[in-house]
Structure 1
Amino acid sequence: MTPSIAFIGVGNMARSIFSGLLSSGYPADKILGTSRTTEKRAFYEAEYGIKMLADNQQAVQQADVVVLCVKPAQMQAVVENFAAQVNADQLFISVAAGVELGALSHWLNAPVAVVRCMPNTPSQIGAGMTGLIANERITDEQKGWVSELFANVGDSVWIEEESQMHAVTALSGSAPAYFYRFVEAMIKVGLEQGLDEQSCRKLASQTMLGAARMIAEVDEPIAQLRNNITSPNGTTEQALLSFEASHIDQIVAQAMMACMERSKVMAQEFSA
């Protein structure tokens, strides 16, 4: 049986997931979403052929799987509003940063399977990375289904300890912004050297894309991939020596720790 899926709060992430599902052949009549805005409901129904509702309670009543895509600060109020409609056979998936499994289970007030995930924005183009963790009520079949769900927007990794979600946030959830910032700095230098912006953007972005693919697809240590293009006294070596002189490991560690610390604070703010 193909489960019916309700997306509570349709925005960019929800659209990324259900558009990936539709592209993979998932039936549109098994997908519904919610939005308080009449225009948004009309748009998604016309553009994607899915059913859109204004009422979260109605959506939950019609779904086998409920994907919670509302903002973290709104999660408690939204979940408690439809909690009376929850049944034990349903699966709940939250994409809200910082909202832990215990809080979600408490607000749902029912013995249901809950998955917490940390996707990232490249999911919008099918190149996302998602960290996943579930409560003790999830079945192996449900875990497999969730993995297939996120395969439609990229790839995923299951973790065992919820405390590790802070590291997942720093490694993948927030990380695209680090790379964007790095490329911005590269492009700025290229412009200063007389190249046009389009050429700079293409040179830098395709190089980053190629490097990422080599890390993912070539069976060599990352250090070796780096050494393969670092000739003694060459141009690459000089750039890398500059990074080391600026203590690049410390810079990256400080940034990631700042990200993780904020993630921990958010978990406390949104606890049950």
Structure 2
Amino acid sequence: MTANVAFIGVGNMARAIISGMIASGYAAQNIIGTSRTAEKREAFQQEYGIRMLADNNQAVTEADVVVLCVKPAQMQGVIEGFAEQVREGQMYISVAAGVELSAIEQWLNTDVAVVRCMPNTPSQLGAGMSGLIANQLTTDEQKGWVSELFSRVGDSAWVTDEEHMHGVTSLSGSSPAYFFRFLEAMIKSGVAQGLDEATSRKLATQSMLGAAKMVTELDEPITQLRRNITSPNGTTEQAVLSFEAAGIDKIVDDAMSACVKRSKEMARDFAAK
């Protein structure tokens, strides 16, 4: 469907989605952004050719799809500020972590399609992964449109149980930070072995990128890919055995469980009262 899309708040995620839309041919005249900052409105308008407004109410009035890109703690106040402009037939997409569908529905106070999205920061480079869930008023056509929208910044996966969004957060929303931390440790070790930092970074990061491409593009189980380069009594085996001795499965599970725990706490904090 062709839709007028309004972005309420134009932070990093809105920028990623808007740039992906423009790059893939979405008409700039069908995109609106809002910001209270005049400098940001001017910058977005000049960079992308979209219309920028200071008034959320006006943007919502003109939109078929409204993408809510404000911080979780601001979400209730922002929605309640334009709630009188919400109308049936619109669709609302939230990219705020921890704010559940039921809260958004209550604040909107109108029966409309609502989609909750958990994106991640690689979306800024068109390599993102977004977890999605929709309320019961969202049609298959609308869900297809949302999938197409997020394909412009990477890929996406739908879940049907909102409880699973906590797992989505731990697997994709937060996981780039895990990989960054692992890379930091690898680079630090490389420097300790005598390599300069730039060379260590290049070797480690390109290897991580290549490994990810092998997983996504080759039709082999991850376990087999690992075994293919783990020769008996070889160098790789010694590294992997060290990981196993340190309890890598428990380390990762503990970290992801801590992420899920915090995600659930945030959902309670931002629940509709």
Do Structure 1 and Structure 2 share a fold, with TM-score over 0.5?
A: yes
RMSD of the TM alignment (CA)? 0.6
- Residue-by-residue CA offset, 1:178-211 (whole Å, 9 max, x unaligned): 0000000000011112212221111111100111
**Alignment of 1:98 onto 2:98:** yes
- Equivalent residue runs for 1:61-72 within 5 Å: 61-72=61-72
Structure 2 residue identity aligned to 1:133? I
**Alignment of 1:146 onto 2:107:** no
- Residue-by-residue CA offset, 1:10-58 (whole Å, 9 max, x unaligned): 0000000010000000000100101110100010111111111111111
User: Corresponding residue for 1:54?
Assistant: 54
- Identity over the aligned pairs, expressed in percent? 70
- Residue-by-residue CA offset, 1:62-97 (whole Å, 9 max, x unaligned): 100000000000000000110100001100000000
- Equivalent residue runs for 1:82-93 within 5 Å: 82-93=82-93
Give the stretch that moved more between structures: 14-23 or 193-202.
193-202
User: Corresponding residue for 2:29?
Assistant: 29
| Distance of 2:68 and 2:200 partners within structure 1 | 39
User: Corresponding residue for 2:13?
Assistant: 13
- Residue-by-residue CA offset, 1:204-255 (whole Å, 9 max, x unaligned): 1110011111111111111000000000000000000000000000000000
Q: Which runs of 5+ in 2 are unaligned?
A: none
User: Corresponding residue for 2:80?
Assistant: 80
Moved over 6 A (4+): none
Deviation at 1:110, TM superposition (A): 0.3
Q: Which runs of 5+ in 1 are unaligned?
A: none
The alignment partner of 1:124 has SS state of helix
User: Corresponding residue for 2:163?
Assistant: 163
Structure 2 residue identity aligned to 1:222? I
User: Corresponding residue for 1:133?
Assistant: 133
| Distance of 1:45 and 1:221 partners within structure 2 | 46
Structure 2 residue identity aligned to 1:2? T
| Distance of 2:205 and 2:166 partners within structure 1 | 27
User: Corresponding residue for 1:221?
Assistant: 221
The alignment partner of 1:66 has SS state of strand
User: Corresponding residue for 1:180?
Assistant: 180
| Distance of 2:236 and 2:149 partners within structure 1 | 41
Structure 2 residue identity aligned to 1:36? R
User: Corresponding residue for 2:194?
Assistant: 194
TM-score relative to the length of structure 1: 0.99
The alignment partner of 1:136 has SS state of coil
**Alignment of 1:3 onto 2:6:** no
User: Corresponding residue for 2:212?
Assistant: 212
